[in-house]
Each structure stands twice: as structure tokens, then as C-alpha cells.
């Protein structure tokens, strides 16, 4: 659930930033006049979000299109998601939508080339977001991955955010590296806009481990056995925009560390 939330939150943040491009009436007629000018937010923005109690994540790149007080937000680097709609009045933005049965509501304020605000959802989660306008989105994909250790088996959406389920972060890397810690399960995670090409995982006992539990990972059967250059793309679905994970089951083996072998592609 956290994964989709992250993406949603990022989109949300973006929507908040959505500031309508107000075209003031030039005519000098009488009558009531609105002295609040709606700002314009059309263009590309990089957005960060922070769930309460968690580290900040991002940036994600979002494109805002504004027509009057209406705005449409879309991922600048991935066209697979449906655009999000919102509204803006003056410098205030509000936005909400429902995905996977969860409704997210966000509000924010635009100040020049920056935006910031809060969000919450019907699952009781909340946080903050911020955004900066950018001249060009950076759609390059990184190769950073994180390794977590824990004592409970995770699958489904839980695997994207093991830190929320009692797992300990053992380290971060973008190449082959050894991670110390004695756990029954290890989870290799990539965050959005990252793909890690994992060849195999070797335990401190010398054995090689494969995986059967994954999320947004292609060719996962390549993991296991001695390093051979054939790898699984962790986070490889959707061009890396949503992140991914694989679970290494070392229960009963009493490992003190694992080594993650990574190839270039």
C-alpha cells in the first residue's frame, strides 16, 4: 500500500502546486471584483513528499497543465498513469482522488517557483509535500538499491516498504556490496526511478540464494547460483518509475551477512 501511496503522494504534492493561471479582466467596469489573482503553475515540477515519521522521498517529476482554475497533473517521465485533476484559487490548491479504495486529499500553497502543503488519506496516513519548478524533467533512471533485514515474511505491497514492518535498513548501494546483519529474511528494495540489476545473492555460509517473492521485478528467476551475468531487474517494470523488491529467504540458516551481486544490465 505504501508504494502506491508514495506515487500518489508525489502526484498529490504536485496537484497542490497546481495554481490556476488567472487572466485578470482588463475592463474597468464597475461591480464586484476579485482582488485575489490566481497564480499559474503550468510547466514541469520536481516533487518530494514525506510521510509522517519517515524520511523524505523524491524527487518525482510532474507536468502541470492549467486552464483557468482547473489543473491537470501527469508524470513527466511515465505515461502509464491516468492524469490527475485539481483546482486552484489564488495561491491555494486542493486536490483529492481515490485509488485502490483509498482516497487521498491534499492541500497546498504556491509561492513563486515553489509549492508546499499537507496530505492525508482514508487509511489514516498523512504527511507533507514540497515542489520546485524545473526547466526540464530529469527522466534518467538510477541504480540505487537498499537492503533490509527482518524476522517476518513479507509479500505483496508490504515488500515495497519493509521499514514499516519492523525491518532494519542494513545499507544502500548501487554496485556489488556485502551487508552485515543476522536475519531470517532479507529484502532488496529499489525506490521509484531506480532499477537494480541483481545477479545473485550469497550468504555468509557460502550458499547462493534465489527468490520467489518479488514486486515490480522482471526475470527474477535469474537470481541464484554463482554470478553469471544474468540478472533480475528489481524495479524494472514501468521503466523503473515505481520501484520494486525481491525477498531472500534465509530462515534457519543463521547468516551473519549477505553479498548482493549486481551487474550493469
Q: Which residue has better confidence, 237 or 145?
A: 145
Residue 41 pLDDT: 93
Superfamily in which the 2-24+35-134 domain is placed by CATH: Quinohemoprotein amine dehydrogenase alpha subunit, domain 2 (2.40.128.120)
Separation of first and last alpha carbons in the chain:
28
Distance CA 244, CA 117 (A): 27
Closest CA to 234 of 217, 251, 258, 212: 217
For 32-51, b where at least 16 C-beta lie within 10 A, e where not — what string?
A: eeeeeebbbbbeebbbbbbb
- Domain boundaries, given as residue ranges, for the chain: 2-24+35-134, 145-262
Residue 172 pLDDT: 95
Residue-wise pLDDT tens digits, 179-233: 999 999 999 999 888 999 999 999 999 999 999 999 999 999 999 999 999 999 9
Host H or E run for residue 53: none
- For cell 504556491, the residue is 110
Q: Which three cell numbers stand for residue 13?
A: 504534492
Residue 81 pLDDT: 65
Q: Is the pLDDT of residue 13 over 50?
A: no
Q: What is the pTM of this model?
A: 0.57
Q: Is the pLDDT of residue 250 over 90?
A: yes
Amino acid at each position: 500500500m505504501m508504494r502506491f501511496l508514495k506515487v500518489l503522494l508525489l502526484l498529490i504534492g504536485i496537484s497542490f502546486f497546481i495554481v490556476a493561471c488567472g487572466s485578470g479582466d482588463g475592463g474597468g467596469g464597475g461591480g464586484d471584483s476579485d482582488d485575489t489573482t490566481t497564480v499559474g503553475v503550468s510547466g514541469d515540477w520536481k516533487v518530494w513528499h514525506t510521510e509522517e515519521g519517515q524520511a523524505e522521498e523524491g524527487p518525482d517529476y510532474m507536468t502541470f497543465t492549467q486552464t483557468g482554475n482547473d489543473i491537470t497533473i501527469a508524470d513527466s517521465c511515465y505515461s502509464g498513469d491516468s492524469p490527475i485533476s485539481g483546482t486552484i484559487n489564488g495561491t491555494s490548491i486542493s486536490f483529492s482522488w481515490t485509488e485502490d479504495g483509498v482516497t487521498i486529499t491534499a492541500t497546498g500553497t504556491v509561492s513563486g517557483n515553489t509549492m508546499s502543503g499537507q496530505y492525508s488519506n482514508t487509511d489514516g496516513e498523512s504527511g507533507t509535500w514540497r515542489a520546485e519548478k524545473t526547466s526540464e524533467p530529469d527522466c534518467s533512471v538510477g541504480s540505487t538499491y537498499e537492503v533490509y533485514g527482518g524476522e517476518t515474511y513479507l509479500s505483496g505491497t508490504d515488500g515495497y516498504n519493509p521499514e514499516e514492518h519492523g525491518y532494519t535498513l542494513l545499507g544502500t548501494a548501487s554496485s556489488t556490496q556485502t551487508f552485515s546483519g543476522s536475519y531470517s529474511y532479507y529484502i532488496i528494495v529499489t525506490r521509484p526511478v531506480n532499477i537494480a540489476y541483481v545477479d545473485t545473492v550469497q550468504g555468509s555460509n557460502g550458499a547462493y540464494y534465489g527468490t520467489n517473492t518479488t514486486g515490480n521485478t522482471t526475470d527474477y528467476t535469474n537470481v541464484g547460483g554463482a554470478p553469471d551475468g544474468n540478472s533480475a531487474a528489481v524495479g524494472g517494470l514501468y521503466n523503473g518509475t515505481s520501484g520494486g523488491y525481491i525477498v531472500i529467504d534465509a530462515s534457519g540458516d543463521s547468516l551473519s551477512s549477505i553479498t548482493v551481486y549486481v551487474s550493469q544490465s
